[in-house]
Structure 1
Amino acid sequence: MATLMSENSLNPRRLSGIFCPNLTPVDAKGRVDEERLREYVDWLIDHGVDGLYPNGSTGEFVRFSPTERRRIVEVVVGQTAGRVPVLAGAAEANVSETIEACNAYGAMGVTAVAIVAPFYYRLGSDSVHAYFTEIATHGDVDVTLYNIPMFASPIEVDVVRRLAEEQPRIVGMKDSTGDMANMLRMMAAVRPIRDDFAFLTGWDPSLAPMLIAGVDGGTNATSGVLPELTKAVYRCVTTGDQQAAMRWQYELLDLFDRMLAVGEFPDGFRLGAGVRGWDLGVGRLPYSDSRTSDLTKVKSELEGRVDKVLRELRG
């Protein structure tokens, strides 16, 4: 069952395993479907995820209000009931609101929060360092840095090293670039000074290679559709069966690419969840008739791929 300890982790306090950046169920009026969210959380835990990650990119955090975001985390924390750790997305539009979110989530009992660098306005490294220093100094919960430079200011290697050295509240890095060389540089810079500092990859196509290279786990969108598959990759790496890990990695790559190519993110992953029997709604945005038609066309093909992988996983 879920712990903060990976089979190959040097430190039992390090975040590890597969944290699912869960989709956010909505009803026909676009409201958060709390009952469906609770059921979905139970299903994810029962199917092997090591932690939950509400309010991530896959959970479409920017499409919900601050009040809704807090309620989403509250529901997830309550439903997990300590069975798995919760890493809550706490990014807001400015530092004061981010600190408020951190403190609210800390009071709810999350294990840690994940925060992107400032977005919309592109900041330099010193300003990114100052931003996270302010949060770590005034927040009441452990912080995981979230590097996603396609949407936010990049968190450079030297900034990660400085923050790890200066701020014990900063306990990890989630990187969604898939850049292996950059991840290796970060681990080389930080591991000698902080053996409790976790590294998680948010890029499904590189999950197995990153785990083999020494990262502690992943926050992977596909885990919200096929948690059995992402957990199989993780389990095979941590038990030393790299050949099997890469076999499952290629299946993960294929499914991730298929779902990523559908509509607008995370449409394909909502569709994938539907294939598993979860009607999580169509999301928050107003959508065109052509988009709905496009989703219907690819559903049967996706069903075939998901069924094939499940049969293989079950042996």
Structure 2
Amino acid sequence: MPNFDLSDFKGVIPALITPFDESERFDETRMRSCIDFLIERGVGGLYTTGSTGETFLMSPDERARVVEIVVDQVAGRVPVVAHIGAIGTHLSIDLAQRAQSAGVDAVSSVPPFYWPFTPDQVFNYYADLTAATDLPMVVYKIPLAGELGFDLVKRLASIPGVGGIKYTAATQFEIIRIKEEIGADFRVYSGSDEMAMSGLSYGADGIIGSFYNMIPEVFIALNEAVEKGDMIRAKSLQETGNAIIFFSLNHTPTAVIKRAMAWQGADAGYCRRPFDNFITEAQEEELKSAFRKLKQDRSLKDAAFLEMI
């Protein structure tokens, strides 16, 4: 049985990185260290083997192993949602069932991608996947994997077991519509890091994102500010987060996140090819120097890693 209900999955939720070693093998020791680092910083849950976790660069067995290690190390301290999306329904069902056996609290999936699947085919994919386990399903709206229009989201919400959506899109006004037309109990997780403040202010139940691995304290403070109605403070924190995000997007963002975590004592290892990495000391020092300049130019504060370089 899961340790948590989907209603317990709230607050700031990192879309968890997957550490690889210098030979691009999954690094269990680094993974365990990163999990402890994030939980100790106060995150509300973990969303594993998603895009930020480089899931589509891993084999199914590797993805299942990552989920097992995450659940084992978390040990019931926070909720864990496993992303089990793939192009094929059979593969996704297998991953979902293995995730349930590992002990996750919920599963999530992007819609089937690459081919232009019809709305009925997408609906059937989620219906088949949700029926394959006893776990709640969080569907995933992200334009990179194919558009989920509002009418289709409403249809998906009618599937028994579909309990929420990870909403990663610029059309955040739909968060209000989802809460009004589908229901307040249907969980919405804002998935755009650079729009965390607006997502929360529109009624999102939590925020799931890549940069919450790197600067969780910024977005934990932002979430608290929104809860208190201190929108001036929330805006300032969003601006700090966005400066770091937009800078990182000019590089390989996942590699930047992993190095910044390492500077804070949680060595997140390396990315798998074809992603780039900061391999040499000179490359890493150049990145640190650029961040120091960004901090000075923008008078940034609140981000712990900037104080450590």
Code of the residue aligned with 1:16 in structure 2: it is K
1:31-81 deviation digits (Å, cap 9, x = unpaired)? 111011111101100001100111011111111111111111111111111
Matched, 1:273 2:265: no
Unaligned segments of structure 1, at least 5 residues: 6-11
- In the alignment, structure 1 residue 188 sits paired with structure 2 residue 180: yes
- Match for 1:216: what amino acid? D
Structure 1's 106 and 305: CA in aligned 2 closer, same or farther, altered over 3 A?
Answer: farther
Distance (whole Å) between structure 2 residues aligned to residue 155 and residue 74 of structure 1 = 30
Query: Do the aligned residues in 1 keep the contact of 2:47 with 2:208 (CA within 8 Å)?
Result: yes
Number of residue pairs the alignment of both structures matches: 300
Read off the aligned partner of 1:158 and give its amino acid letter: D
Alignment partner for residue 236 of structure 2, among 236, 242, 247? 247
**Cα distance in 1 between the residues matched to 2:36 and 2:18:** 14
Match status 1:30 vs 2:19:
no
Identity, % of aligned positions: 31
SS of 1:36's equivalent in the other structure is helix
In the TM superposition, what is the alpha-carbon distance from 1:249 to its structure 2 partner?
1.0
**Structure 1 residue aligned with 2:214, among 215, 225, 229?**
225
* Deviation at residue 140 of structure 1 after TM alignment: 2.8
1:70 and 1:302 map into 2 onto residues whose CA distance is: 35
Q: Secondary structure at the match of 1:38?
A: helix
The one-letter code of the counterpart of 1:270 is K
The whole-number CA distance in structure 2 between the counterparts of 1:218 and 1:60 is 19
CA gap 1:312/1:76 in 2 versus in 1, 3 angstroms: closer
The 2-side partners of 1:30 and 1:97 are apart by: 23
- Determine the C-alpha separation between the residues in 1 that align with 2:198 and 2:278: 38
Post-superposition shift, 1:291?
8.8
Give, as a single letter, the amino acid of the residue that structure 2 aligns with 1:131.
Y
SS at match of 2:302: helix
Provide closer, same or farther for how the CA distance between residues 312 and 248 of structure 1 changes in structure 2, counting only shifts above 3 A.
farther
- Picking from 262, 286, 291, the partner of 1:297 is 286
Structure 2 gaps, min length 5: none
Aligned position for 1:105: 99
Asked if structure 2 preserves the Cα contact closer than 8 Å seen for 1:53 and 1:86, the reply is yes
Which residue does the alignment assign to 1:121?
115
Give the direction of change, closer, same or farther, for the CA distance of 1:295–1:183 in structure 2 (3 Å limit). farther
SS of the residue 1:118 aligns to:
coil
Structure 2 counterpart of 1:168, from 126, 143, 160: 160
| Worse overlay, 136-145 or 38-47 | 136-145
Decide whether the 8 Å contact of 1:4 with 1:16 is kept in 2: no
CA distance in 1 between partners of 2:251 and 2:288 (Å): 10
Would the aligned equivalents of 2:33 and 2:267 in 1 still touch at CA under 8 Å?
Answer: no
CA distance in 2, matches of 1:18, 1:237: 12
Q: Is the 8 A contact 2:169 2:191 kept in 1?
A: yes
Report the CA distance between 1:279 and its aligned residue: 3.0
Indicate conservation of the 8 Å contact 1:136/1:169, yes or no.
Answer: yes
Task: Tell me the CA shift for residue 4 of structure 1.
Answer: 6.5
CA spacing shift, 1:118–1:257, aligned 2, 3 Å: same
- Confirm or deny that 1:133 pairs with 2:127: yes
- 47, 55, 80: which is aligned to 1:53? 47
Structure 1 segment 28-107 matched on structure 2, within 5 A: 28-107=22-101
Distance 1:149 1:21 in 2: 17
Task: Give distance in 2, aligned partners of 1:41 and 1:288.
Answer: 23
What is the rounded CA distance, in whole Å, between the counterparts of 1:311 and 1:85 in structure 2?
24
1:153 aligned to which of 126, 146, 154:
146
TM-aligned CA deviation for residue 300 of structure 1: 2.0
State the alpha-carbon separation in 1 of the partners of residues 4 and 224 from structure 2. 15
Alpha-carbon RMSD: 2.7
Q: Quick one: structure 1 residues 146 and 62, their matched pair in 2 at CA, closer, same or farther if it must change by over 3 Å?
A: same
Q: Which of 178, 187, 205 is equivalent to 1:216?
A: 205
Deviation track 1:69-107 (CA, whole Å, cap 9, x = no partner) reads: 111111111111110000111112310111111111112
